Amino acid sequence: MIAEGRAIRHGAANIDYAMGKEMAEVVKINSLPDNIEPLAMWSRMMQLQHYFGKDSHSAHPLKDTALAFEISPTSEESKDWTIDNWQRFLAEWINVFDSITSVPDKPRVKLKPTNLKNSQYVAALHRDSKSGIMHLHIDANRIDIRGNVNDAHYIYERAMAAAAKVGQQRGWKDAQE
């Protein structure tokens, strides 16, 4: 399994892509109404940032307003999965991701924890156009529902560490193998 993460400024475009791609399936919409358009979801995320004073009009605005992740188990690991399987996998990955407070290669670096499980996010399932491998796109608000900022330091390394830990817990091959 592999995963990558990044802090982005173009959350609206990312959500629109994740949910609007042909044959995309919504796996989970967290802390947002599920019966609204993708751009309306992004608007709700920006309203939350405005409410907590983290938007572009505040004294200390967030430059990168969203976190974007792509998570991909191998086709063998996710063979015959239903949406329920993907939802359980997503919850497991988010719990592990939120627990990471250090970087494997930099043990002296201490990171602020994230709170994705209590953040607004959208997770959609895509099929890779070339390989056909299923993968998740997650687009999350940088602000959780309590107004705390989800730390983006070493976000790529955190995503990979969470993937490695979930894969290890499930007995899957390490991505480097």
Q: What is the pLDDT of residues 91-134, one digit of tens each?
A: 999 999 999 999 888 889 999 999 999 999 999 999 887 888 89
Q: What are phi and psi of 150, to 5 degrees?
A: -75, 115
The reported pLDDT for the residue numbered 58 is 82
**H helices present in 4-142, as ranges:** 11-20, 38-51, 83-99
- When pLDDT is cut at 50, 70 and 90, the band that residue 21 belongs to is confident
166 closest CA partner among 136, 130, 124, 144: 136
Report the run of H or E that residue 30 belongs to, with start and end: strand 25-30
Residue type, 78: S
pLDDT at 142 over 90: yes
The two three-digit tokens of residue 143, written as one number:
């602000």
- Three-state DSSP class for 97? helix
The two three-digit tokens of residue 164, written as one number:
């490695």
48 closest CA partner among 115, 148, 152, 122: 148
pLDDT at 177 over 80: no
The reported pLDDT for the residue numbered 175 is 67
pTM of the model: 0.95
The residue ranking higher by pLDDT, 82 or 130, is 82
- Three-state DSSP class for 149? strand
pLDDT tens digits for 145-164? Answer: 999 999 999 999 999 999 99
